[in-house]
Amino acid sequence: MRRSKPQKPVIDQPLAPPIRIIKPVLGPNEKIVLTGEAAEILRIATLRLAMGLMETHPVEVNAILDKIEDEMRAAEEARQAVRGV
């Protein structure tokens, strides 16, 4: 008589709830604006990543940092325009 293969245990419930990723649909001139703590966390993470890549890819990192600086300047100008300063 042949022996059957042992069955793998079946997990009825997932171990963690599924993660929903909401991808915004933006037009060509629309942007997502982060403010407060989210903006600060992203800025710090970007700078840490840039410092790690600076040794091997200095030109690319400088271009990215320049772009971030331009975006931050434009965001500040937009905030001042809204305030009427």
Could you tell me the pTM of the whole model? Answer: 0.44
Q: Which pLDDT does position 6 carry in this prediction?
A: 62
CB atoms within 10 A of CB 57: 13
**Any domain includes 76:** yes
The verdict on residue 46 lying in a domain is no
Instruction: Please give the pLDDT value at position 28.
Output: 78
For residue 65, the Cα-to-chain-centroid distance in whole angstroms is: 15
Instruction: Write out pLDDT tens, residues 39-58.
Output: 888 888 888 888 888 888 88
Is residue 18, in this structure, part of any structural domain at all? no
Residue 1: pLDDT over 70: no
The total of structural domains in the chain comes to 1
Q: Which domain holds residue 75?
A: 57-85
